Chain A
Amino acid sequence: MEVKEKSKIDPKFKYEVARVAGGENIRYCFQCGKCEATCPIRRFEDSYKPAQIIRATLLGLKDMVLDSDVIWLCATCYSCTERCPQGVRLTDVMRAIRNLAIQKGHVHPFFKQQAGVITRAGRIFEDEEFINQMRGELGLPPLTPVNRDDLAKILRHTNVKKLLKNEKEK
């Protein structure tokens, strides 16, 4: 993460993260560093520091965290969650931070694109015909089509469509 000069401290940020489902246990972190030692991303990418992201969140560096590029590097491998001695469930906290980032208008284009296709077509691909052709060649039954109307109906209960429209590309 970029350490900006004079970053503003917003003590309410940590409560925001804790209010997102999965973010509640961020408060238990005591900076032992086991997550960083375990993380395969951290091992090969020096700018990705999960414990530092927790630290910044607890301190309240909201803009620094939500605007940063590195929060999109988590591979969701859950190794940190396994090894954390205080049950912080860092993988879920990272996801909660990502959810807040997109609410603020920041999302990595890869995730935006994927979620866009899924919420529209119901799968990570649009062209069901092509896929079924490949399957047919191997002797596999075709996939049953996704009912896009039904999909739209259930997703109306969340604001995911709005989120995917309003964000700023990174």
Chain B
Amino acid sequence: MTTLKYSYFPGCVTPQKENAYELSMRKVAEKLDIQLMELAGANCCGFFVEPVDHLSATILGAGNIALMEESGCDAITVCPACFGHLTRVRNSLLEDAPLRNEVNKALKEINKKFEGTSKIKHFASVLLQDVGIEKIKSTITKPLSQLKVAPHYGCHILKPSDELNLDNPEDPKLLDSLIEVTGAKLVNYVEKKMCCGAPVMGVDEKLSLTIAREKLKSVKKAGADVIVTVCSYCHVHFDLNQLSIQEKFSEEYNIPVLHFTQLLGLAQGYTPEELGLYENRVPVDSILNKLQQ
């Protein structure tokens, strides 16, 4: 099997709150002969600085891309916000020469330069586009046919579609195919395309939880066992905050939330411990029991 090499961009939310995501990603990558190199000195991609100052956010992003270019290959991230932000920074710097010059002037202070030779990719798209479904299928040893899985794409992996060019936000298939390759049953639900609401948590907690609750309601109604995410921010919101939602609205959901890499990992034969499944806040026992049957 040919080895694919990428540098790994960690982001902020994943190391802070969802290390199980990175853990399970590394496990899946291992089985698929994906080699990940460290990006020394990588910092926040800049997404969280955008509301305050666009240029700063661009410079932060460009600095990280310059690091990736030094590594000599494309970069993988598990965070869609990083993927989206860095892709858009790269696109705008490639198109806008005066902006590029301005940014490179700043980067020159630390002996870095943006050229645009490296792309940033989300792990999910690497799996589908670079590795391919057939190869993934060949590593599936424990098909998850007992599970009914609801996909949650979130927003930043798909939109704005004319800049990310990854999938059709109105009819996405990316995560669907990754779920189906594990042998699990894909469950579509009415609110499949809606945002999880996490970004407004710091501004209006009740509103943020109301949106996530709407999604949980829809998933429950469709009869899914588990929600699968591609984003740490979404995962925290559905997983950790599910308990707050249950309390606030006096409702019961108990729907475990898995990172898509954890689902793939299970199908590849990894144990729950190896995939950090016990880091999840909503207990995963229900699905583990189902898988025993």
Contact = CB atoms under 8 A, between A and B. Distances in A.
Asked whether the complex places CB atoms of A and B closer than 8 A, the reply is: yes
Given A40-B211, A73-B203, A144-B38, A115 B48 contact: yes
Contacts of A96: 54
Contacts of B15: 123, 131, 135, 143
Interface string A111-140: 110110011001111000001001100111
Contacts of A21: 54-55, 92, 99
A77 interface: yes
Q: Which one of B26, B44, B52 has the highest number of Cβ atoms from chain A below 10 Å of its Cβ? A: B52
B239 to A, nearest CB: 16
Contact of B56 (A77, A91, A119): A119
B197 A40 contact: yes
A7 interface: no
Contacts of A65: none
B183 interface: no
B161 A157 contact: no
Contacts of A122: 43-44
Contacts of B49: 115, 118-119, 160
Interface residues of A, number: 60
Contact of A78 (B99, B109, B155): B155
Interface in B135-181: 155-156, 159-161, 169-170
Contacts of A143: 10, 15
B160 A147 contact: no
Contacts of A3: none
A139 B40 CA distance: 18
A78 B203 contact: no
A125 B18 CA distance: 14
B56 A45 contact: no
Contacts of B23: 138-140
A25 to B, nearest CB: 12
